[in-house]
Amino acid sequence: MEVKINDTAACCDTSVILCGIKLDNPVIAASGTFGYGYEFSQIYDINVLGTFSFKGTTLHPRFGNEQPRVAECPAGMLNAVGLQNPGVDAVISHELPAMAKYFHKPVMANVCGFSVEEYAEVAERFDCEEQVGWIELNISCPNVHGGGAAFGLDPKTAAEVTSAVRRVVKKPLIVKLSPAAADIAAVAAAVEAAGADAVSLINTLPGMRIDLHRRRPLLANERGGLSGPAVFPIALRMVYDVYKAVSIPVVGIGGVSTAEDVIEMMLAGATAVQVGTANLVNPTACLDIINSLPRAMAKFKINKLSDIIGGAHI
């Protein structure tokens, strides 16, 4: 059954500009929660989205971590999927051509790696693809042993991988930052200096659950990434801090599930906002948020959404 889109969204200006590319609205489905968009396209026309960031891609195919790798918890969930993906060759040869049939806007390519060289190679491959509008450099995934999260913890290493990718890509480069960094604002400033066109934040926070019957960690990976409404205040604070530290756009991520959350993130400094875990709870979460934006804008006397970016700063 196809879900209809609310036409009232056309009555106000929800558009934003992200790295020179216009989005009809600031709502972006987050990588890892939206696959390649196909399943969601069977429920509603996903072209209503600002865009989406497709599944994190590595140079070679990855099976991911052992099961179980998802666990529920109050106000959120834990995941330790481990970057399961078919590899860049399969994404370019199969997923992108298939995607072009149901999504007709520039898409965000989420790039993952285990070395500077791997990041650069995958990003360079996607840079040649017409459908890709932005490269999102994921240096913050906490659920992979020996993975790219280590690059996001320190300004120097974050700048190193950003600089290497910047040299081989021409498309807008968004660097996804880790909340585990000692000073996320310093990391943001470092990647800006190294050539990033924008930053996105936050990724999940490390957490775990214990099975009381087995008296062992519930996840096979022991630890997983906490996401959902529980992390929203943390993400909001980090977006606020990073906005003050950089002059490039910020994409806010973390626990967003309502139109009011989008507005709050934008007031903190976000140009656009990614919606993640909410998609797993409710497949029409992004659509519901987009349909609710005009009402929320009217409630808070907002005529043009882009005017409020960073509005909470004095």
Residue 296: per-residue pLDDT: 97
> What's the token pair of residue 35?
């696959």
Active-site choice (12, 112, 128, 141): 141
Residue 66: per-residue pLDDT: 84
The DSSP result for the chain, as a single string, is -PPPPPGGGGGSB--EEETTEEESSSEEEPTTSSTTSHHHHTTS-GGGSSEEB---B-SS-B--SPSP-EEEETTEEEE-----B--HHHIIIIIHHHHTTT--S-EEEEE--SSHHHHHHHHHHHHT-TTEEEEEEE----SSTT-GGGGGSSHHHHHHHHHHHHTT--S-EEEEPPTTSS-HHHHHHHHHHTT-SEEEE--PEEE--EETTTTEESSTTS-EEEESGGGHHHHHHHHHHHHHH-SS-EEEESS--SHHHHHHHHHHTEEEEEE-HHHHH-TTHHHHHHHHHHHHHHHTT-SBGGGGTTTT--
Residue 145: per-residue pLDDT: 47
CATH architecture label of 7-308 = Alpha-Beta Barrel (3.20)
Q: What is the mean pLDDT of the chain?
A: 93
Residue 148: per-residue pLDDT: 55
Q: What is the dihedral of CA 183, 186, 192, 195, to 10 degrees?
A: -90
Do the beta carbons of residue 175 and residue 137 sit within 8 Å?
Answer: yes
Annotated active-site residue 73? The verdict is: no
Residue 67: per-residue pLDDT: 86
Tell me the pLDDT tens digit for each residue of 4-22: 555 444 468 999 999 999 9
3-state SS assignment for residue 104: coil
- As to burial, measured by CB atoms within 10 angstroms (0-12 exposed, 13-18 middle, 19+ buried), residue 170 is exposed
Residue 143: per-residue pLDDT: 45
Residue 74: per-residue pLDDT: 87
Q: How far apart are CA 196 and CA 160, in angstroms?
A: 11
* Helix (H), strand (E) at residue 235: helix 232-245
Q: How far apart are CA 29 and CA 22, in angstroms?
A: 16
Give the pLDDT means over successive 10-residue stretches in the chain (314 positions).
50 94 98 95 98 97 87 88 91 98 98 94 98 95 55 92 97 96 96 98 93 94 91 98 98 97 98 96 97 97 97 92
pTM over 0.75: yes
Percent of the chain with pLDDT over 70: 94
3-state SS assignment for residue 108: strand
Tell me which residue has tokens 């096979």. 220
